Structure 1
Amino acid sequence: MSGRRVAITGIGVTAPGGVGTKAFWDLLSHGRTATRAISTFDASGFRSRVAAEIDFDPEQSGLSPQQVRRMDRAAQLAVVSAREAVSDSGLEFVDLDPHRTGVTIGSAVGATMGLDQEYRVVSDGGRLELVDHRYATKHLYDHFVPSSFSAEVAWAVGAEGPVSVVSTGCTSGIDSVGHAVELIREGTADVVVAGATDAPISPITLACFDAIKATTPRDDDPATASRPFDRSRNGFVLGEGAAVFVLEELGAALRRGAHVYAEVAGYASRCNAFHMTGLRPDGAEMAEAIRVALDEARVDPTDVDYVNAHGSGTKQNDRHETAAFKRALGEHARRTPVSSIKSMVGHSLGAIGSIEIAASALAMEYGVVPPTANLRTPDPECDLDYVPITAREHRTDTVLSVGSGFGGFQSAIVLARPDRRTP
């Protein structure tokens, strides 16, 4: 590995509660929830009928009618977020070598909404067993291939270097950023636009999670439905969103006087090779990913100031994650603030890892740890400091963010202030 270090110099977020990074941070820092009854389709026949939706108008967000027609909602969220990140970075992309500029976008479920809408059209609302292809949009192929997401972002920023999609389920948003960091470290790219997007709030997604009872049936009180680490938690709230970053070599960023939110100091991913949806209670694989990420960052476990948890709000995940923190951080886990922003913005599957990285970087930026909303009755088995209800002023020089996904994926990423690390 080379000595090249990687900085976050631009952030763009489109998430429940508002479009843009400012609206996102305002929601988190005030502990508000964006979960509500599903409004985009009739969900009355489903077990779980709540979600964290975005009030998103693509044309108001700067997309042309042709772009709106061509792109699935998840692609739209990614492009809008990428534009904000590029503007925030202060980089003039037209002056960059396009062959040294890359894109990595994560997604768990691809163009779910586009495919769902097109199937309804070609099947005449599900009445035709043999669908009529003549009614399909000519852009349907783009909905079948998630690589179209990265292509759209690459076209938007003029990137002609390495461009890829990372799809590792619910850890996609961490893994896509980790992949981008490696591209810069190894010298393949100087600047990478990286992040993740998903817009899965559709009948097919609800049906899948209903079948395994992973989502909450607390439909009578949507605002408090997502309850990570609470004794009364009974599943996650589905969400949607995107977060995209401009990553660049740290030295170059400092030379041009860029604002550096954080250095991406360490990253690791592991798999438990155990069960498609189940987790071992000891959290060994997540703990190993944390250990390797901290080692790569040259950070001692006692230097971690805040942990941005996966915190999905399912019984097994929250216990598994608590055990992993104790295993990886030792007694320091009991002294470290931990919180789950899924309590406020839901679980946007592949996108959430990047959204949580954005929250982690902003926690460092403002010296505030976002809370775990709706945590009123702690589970005795989840006995760490989960920052309940209200945000907390707390200087954070080193943040650990983790993700856990179906298939056994466990990922960890470490953000640090550049001056806190020894090269």
Structure 2
Amino acid sequence: MSRSIAITAAETACALGDTLDASLATWQAGRSGLSQQEGLLAGRIADRSVLKGRRYGAASNLGVQVARRAVARAGWSEAETRNAWLFAASSRGNAGELLGSHAWRRPSRRFSASNTLHSEIAAAISIELGIRGPWQMISNGCSAGLDALGFAWMALQAGLTQRALVVAVDLPLYPELLRDFQDTRLLSTSGRNDPLSPHTSGFHPGEAGVALTLELGGQGPVVKRYAANSDAYDSLVIPEDGAPLAELLAGFEKPALLCPHATGTANHAQAEMNALRSTYPQAPPLLLLKPFTGHTLGASGLLDIALISEALRCRAMPGNLSGLTCPDSLCLDLPPKPQSVLKIASGMGGHNAAVLLTHE
């Protein structure tokens, strides 16, 4: 028997704004959060104080901040927070600490070992919020945040818990990481912020922290379904025909609106659009959020879900950034009040995830 599981609150910090409300306002105004610094067009968090602290790494500090605000918005009591399950996600974890960055953070050497662990993000949130339910740390590349939401949804569907906190964080703007992306030919070389254009040359990285509360029988946008599969194809690229992703999408009902992963890499632009064309005789309108936020890697799927769920809650879906390229047979004109939205995420190595949200 299917259980009704709702997103009851969310919080974000990203290039669009330091809070979810600020981010939604920037999106509604049709403004991108990306900015140019030192020759790199990227999405940066303006308030750097959310990254600072002596005990934890920068990504962990950000996770604690957004998690605390989401729980406060949900109105959870101390007992409800204590018993919640926690699912956290990141593709790069506290990479800045591993690379020797963040000298400005004034870290304590006593915590040097924990600061280099991905799992510190989940542990820090559990400690600081007093969560005694089990926590899990997921690192499935760029699909990590969406998978974390899916795993939380499955735990609630199974009746293992009444509520879950889902958090995703990524801070990829370090020279060493950017060089790796550049060497792998994933980073944009043209500066063109138009992910479905035939002239796109790669993605624009972005920072983000996002948290949301998921409750059995709660009030808010409903998570109707989660599913995932793998390409079993290559460690970097995905099949150009998009067949494995199309197979995954075929298991979902057709949504009123679809938010693709849309990284901006040439391979992904072709493969993901081929998957949509083969799945739908007439594809739903597409919402492209990375032109607003940058590609926030493991946080990207959950960040998009947080923005979309708040738009569904407000019953006003902002549109796409103006001037974006739309491939033939596809549409970027969004319905203002969609009843359902399907979000897709794909991780490097060939892992696909999708979540269907509805407004009921």
Same fold (TM over 0.5): yes
Q: Is the 8 A contact 1:227 1:373 kept in 2?
A: no
Cα deviation, residue 352, structure 1? 0.5
Do the aligned partners of 1:107 and 1:197 also contact (CA within 8 Å) in 2? yes
Paired residue for 1:90? 75
- How far apart in 1 are the matches of 2:316 and 2:234? 37
Are positions 1:273 and 2:232 aligned together?
Answer: yes
Q: Tell me which residue corresponds to 2:94.
A: 111
2:265 to 311, 314, 338: 314
Q: Which moved more, 1:406-415 or 1:365-374?
A: 365-374
Secondary structure at the aligned position of 2:224 is classed as strand
| Partner Cα distance (1:72, 1:138) in 2 | 12
Measure how far apart 1:203 and its partner are: 1.1
Instruction: Give, in whole Å, the separation in 2 of the partners of 1:395 and 1:229.
Output: 24
* Contact persistence 1:229–1:318 (CA under 8 A): yes
Partner secondary structure for residue 138 of structure 1: helix
Report deviation, 1:409: 0.8
Distance apart, 1:393 and its partner CA: 5.4
Query: Which residue is equivalent to 1:386?
Result: 332
CA distance in 2, matches of 1:167, 1:145: 12
Q: Does 1:413 align with 2:344?
A: no
Corresponding residue SS for 1:285 = helix
Q: What is the alpha-carbon distance in structure 1 between the residues aligned to residue 213 and residue 326 of structure 2? A: 37
Alpha-carbon distance in structure 1 between the residues aligned to 2:322 and 2:193: 7
The structure with the larger Rg is: 1
C-alpha distance in 1, partners of 2:199/2:109? 45
Listed as ranges, the matches of 1:19-418 within 5 Å are 19-38=18-37, 49-58=40-49, 68-92=53-77, 94-96=78-80, 98=82, 100-117=83-100, 137-219=109-191, 225-250=192-217, 253=218, 260-292=219-251, 294=252, 300-301=253-254, 304-328=255-279, 330-333=280-283, 336-373=284-321, 375-380=323-328, 383-387=329-333, 392=334, 394-417=336-359
Counterpart CA distance in 2 for 1:10 and 1:230 is 34
> Equivalent pairs: percent with the same residue?
24
Aligned counterparts of 2:54 and 2:64: Cα–Cα separation in 1: 14
Cα distance in structure 2, aligned partners of 1:9 and 1:118: 36
Deviations 1:187-243 (A, max 9, x none): 222111003111111011101111022111235xxxxx3211123321110101011
Letter in 2 for 1:366: C
Structure 1 CA distance for aligned equivalents of residues 226 and 213 of structure 2:
17
Partner deviation per Cα, 1:39-88 (whole Å, 9 max, x = no partner): xxxx57xxxx2211111232xx5x8xxx7122222112211111121111
Measured on the aligned residues, the alpha-carbon RMSD in Å equals 2.2
Contact in 2 for aligned 1:308/1:360 (Cα 8 Å) = no
Q: Are the equivalent residues in 2 in contact too, given 1:290–1:411 (CA < 8 A)?
A: no
Question: What code does the residue aligned with 1:12 have?
Answer: E
Give the distance between the partners of 2:108 and 2:66, measured in 1 at CA: 28
Residue identity opposite 2:56 in structure 1? M
SS of the residue 1:400 aligns to: strand
The C-alpha deviation readout for 1:13-48, integer Å capped at 9, x for no partner, is 11113111101111222221121223xxxx57xxxx
After superposition, the C-alpha distances for 1:239-283 in whole angstroms (9 at most, x for unaligned) are 010111111111xx3xxxxxx231111001111000111111221
Change (3 A) 1:413 1:384: same
Change (3 A) 1:368 1:286: farther
Maintained 8 Å contact 1:171/1:411: yes
Deviation at 1:353, TM superposition (A): 0.7
Q: Deviations over 1:85-115 (max 9, x none)?
A: 11111221x13273x3111011001111122
Deviations 1:273-320 (A, max 9, x none): 00111111221211222233x2xxxxx32xx11111111111121221
- Distance of aligned partners of 1:119 and 1:201 in 2 relative to their CA distance in 1, 3 Å threshold: closer
Query: Number of paired residues?
Result: 358
- Does the Cα contact within 8 Å between 1:310 and 1:403 map onto a contact in 2? yes
Query: SS of the residue aligned with 1:238?
Result: coil
Structure 2 runs not aligned, ≥5 long: none
Equivalent pair of 2:320/2:332 in contact (CA under 8 Å): yes
Report SS of the residue matched to 1:87: helix
